[in-house]
Amino acid sequence: MSFDPRFNEASVGLADGPLAGPVLGRVVGILAARADCPIDRLDDAMLVADAIASTAGGFAEDARVNVRVVAEPGSVELQVGPLRADGARALIASAALPGIGNVLEQVADELEPQPAAGGEDEYLRIRLGFGAQR
């Protein structure tokens, strides 16, 4: 498979609702496949997409699920936001499930709240590594 970075990135802005999960999952799946993501990490990426889609709108100023997905050889990264102040930490906390623990903390290699340029908003960067780079 040839890897062309021009086609391995997408930004989606979704209304918070029942279609956010399936749409975000498809986008993540397509881009992860282009980066030769192994099946076990693809499952993890789908868990992350579901967790983000089900709660991110509640932490965004515009009540939308806004995600930029970037696939590179050896990783998939999701940048969620803009989120309101402290929204990234609240989004991470919302991924905790009784008896299972925090899905994002368990499957992501990196979880990093990042401030938005010039404002009080912030983003959540989620990176899942795979292959030799992991």
> Per-residue confidence at 4, pLDDT binned at 50, 70, 90?
low
| 64-72 and 9-15 beta bridge pairing | antiparallel
In a domain, 110, yes or no: yes
**Residue holding tokens 């903390």?**
105
The Cα–Cα gap between 55 and 20 comes to 10
In a domain, 77, yes or no: yes
> Range of 103's domain?
9-133
The Cα–Cα gap between 14 and 20 comes to 6
Number of structural domains, the chain? 1
Is-contact 60 83, C-beta < 8 A?
yes
In a domain, 13, yes or no: yes
Copy the structure tokens of residue 103: 């899905």
CATH (domain of 40): 3.30.565.10
In a domain, 1, yes or no: no
Q: What's the pTM value of the predicted model, to 2 decimals?
A: 0.89
Does 1 score more than 50 pLDDT? Answer: no
Contacts of 108 (CB under 8 A, 6+ apart): 48, 126, 127, 128
Backbone angles phi, psi at 124, to 5 degrees: -115, 120
In a domain, 3, yes or no: no
In a domain, 100, yes or no: yes
Amino acid at 57: G
Q: What pLDDT is recorded for position 87? A: 93
Amino acid at 76: V
- DSSP 8-state assignment for residue 123: E
Per-residue pLDDT of 21-58, as tens digits, reads 999 999 999 999 888 899 999 999 999 999 999 999 99
Does 123 score more than 60 pLDDT? Answer: yes
Backbone angles phi, psi at 5, to 5 degrees: -60, -20
Q: Provide the CB-side half-sphere exposure for 93 (13 A, CA).
A: 7
